[in-house]
A and B are shown apart, each in its own frame.
Chain A
């Protein structure tokens, strides 16, 4: 068992406009590795199986404990977080590729700024800026906190968008994460002041109506957000807001 190795195949691309190539690596086996440590191992000795010297793999990562949300990639075809994907549980050769629905920056690093643009469009924040001290916020009951806590766990990894059949160039769908954040901030006692604006934003093209309820998001989300429930709840609120606006505004 001395010469046990890990086979890895990585889809690489040197710039956003270059075409991609697949490089194969063989890494000495160590127990309990995850994909980020595997990529670190390759960086120590960036040589392909055919002995060709190459560059270390570029990828995003930060926390290494599935909390920063930066390391999402396709691992054996499926969107997962690299730092929580354990090598010992994966079929070999391990195939790594960048997320398929986001522009590649280099190798496994992709540009996921569309999620941040979407969060800005729906004002996914609690407005607290003022010219004077606004004082402490309203009291939140523990029941509400418990309801909202799971929604606050989103790490903006974009996996829910990657796995969604409706999230693509044709629809420009906003994706589950943003809808869940709308629910979180609409139900927040201070954040609710922007509720109507958020609901109107979500009725725009690419909004909540594009959801086809394939429910991949909730199955794939690494933080187990109740995404389908949020889409359902927010969907109702958006309809009510639209009807109200039609008659009242």
Chain B
């Protein structure tokens, strides 16, 4: 600090040395990494696969929503495996993102771009998910009680071209973030240390992420554009409380995913 002071063992300037063995950031940082795979990544897969039922129309989608809401302890699952981990991952992720000092302008290398993209896509996903959870889960008609309204609710949302654009961008950003997150997880946790192992895991994650992304975009297409579902009526299963199954209809409902047990999902 002092300009002409004799060399004293004062606090050194600039970046501080390692605080060996001190603090808990290792635990939180690794938990952040893990939480992105399970439970959040696992939920993302479930969500995109479930949404893919929109390809089979409003009734199929309603049945899927009803099935999920009929899971035992569903509200505990929802908070314990989705909301709380997601909130932690998002908030800690923002904390991580703003502590980096981006330098792609000087070092325009692939890994460096991916580093920045992981932060950008994370922030996009964060902003999107806040409005998505609010508008689709908590505001408007409650889908856990009215699964039949699911398709319609999303259709109304996507009728707004701005919302449609937001959904498409967020789908790409989120699947990118997840796919690269898996790759990062394998690299950081020592699963793929070698260069070749990391390249191969890159191919696998790319293919997996692309598949998820395409499935997600197809679901958006099904709801927003597929001609046969335009102005589709609300399927006839409304006002069923979650988990309660009324007597199964005897005739096969058109478009059902499980014709052997019409109306029965479990």
Contacts and interface: CB of A to CB of B under 8 A. Distances in A.
Contact of A212 (B14, B18, B100, B107): B100
Nearest to B194: A229
B23 interface: yes
B187 A239 contact: no
A103 B14 contact: yes
A40 interface: no
A232 B187 contact: yes
Nearest to A242: B26
A236 B193 CA distance: 9
- Scoring B18, B22, B112 by chain A CB atoms within 10 A of each residue's CB, the highest score goes to B18
B15 A168 contact: yes
Given A165-B102, A165-B103, A170-B99, A17 B3 contact: yes
A118 B18 contact: yes
A231 B198 CA distance: 13
B112 A114 contact: no
A205 B29 CA distance: 10
Contacts of B26: 203-205, 207-209, 238, 242
Interface string A106-147: 000001011001100110000000000000000000000000
A220 B29 CA distance: 26
A88 interface: no
Name the interface size band of chain A: 35 or more
Interface stretch (A26-34, A48-56, A171-179, A186-194): A171-179
A111 B18 contact: no
Contacts of B18: 117-118, 121-122, 172, 174, 178, 201-202, 204-207
- Scoring B3, B20, B23 by chain A CB atoms within 10 A of each residue's CB, the highest score goes to B20
A149 interface: no
A211 interface: yes
B184 interface: yes
Contacts of B140: none
Interface in A194-249: 200-216, 219-220, 226, 228-229, 231-239, 242
Contacts of A212: 96, 100, 115, 118
B3 A172 contact: no
Given A121-B20, A200-B21, A239-B30, A111 B106 contact: no
B266 interface: no
Given A204-B18, A236-B189, A103 B29 contact: no
Contact of B25 (A165, A209, A220): A209
B83 interface: no
Interface of B: 3, 12-23, 25-27, 29-30, 96, 99-103, 106-107, 109-112, 114-115, 118, 184, 187-195, 198
Q: Which 4 A-B pairs have the closest CB atoms?
A: A236-B190, A215-B111, A205-B23, A201-B20
12 contacts: A117-B12, A202-B20, A205-B19, A206-B16, A207-B20, A209-B30, A211-B188, A214-B112, A219-B109, A220-B107, A232-B189, A235-B190
Interface of A: 15-17, 77-78, 101-103, 111, 113-114, 117-118, 121-122, 161, 163, 165-174, 178, 200-216, 219-220, 226, 228-229, 231-239, 242
Given A114-B16, A206-B25, 11 more contacts: A102-B14, A103-B12, A165-B102, A165-B115, A172-B19, A201-B18, A202-B18, A205-B18, A205-B19, A206-B16, A212-B100
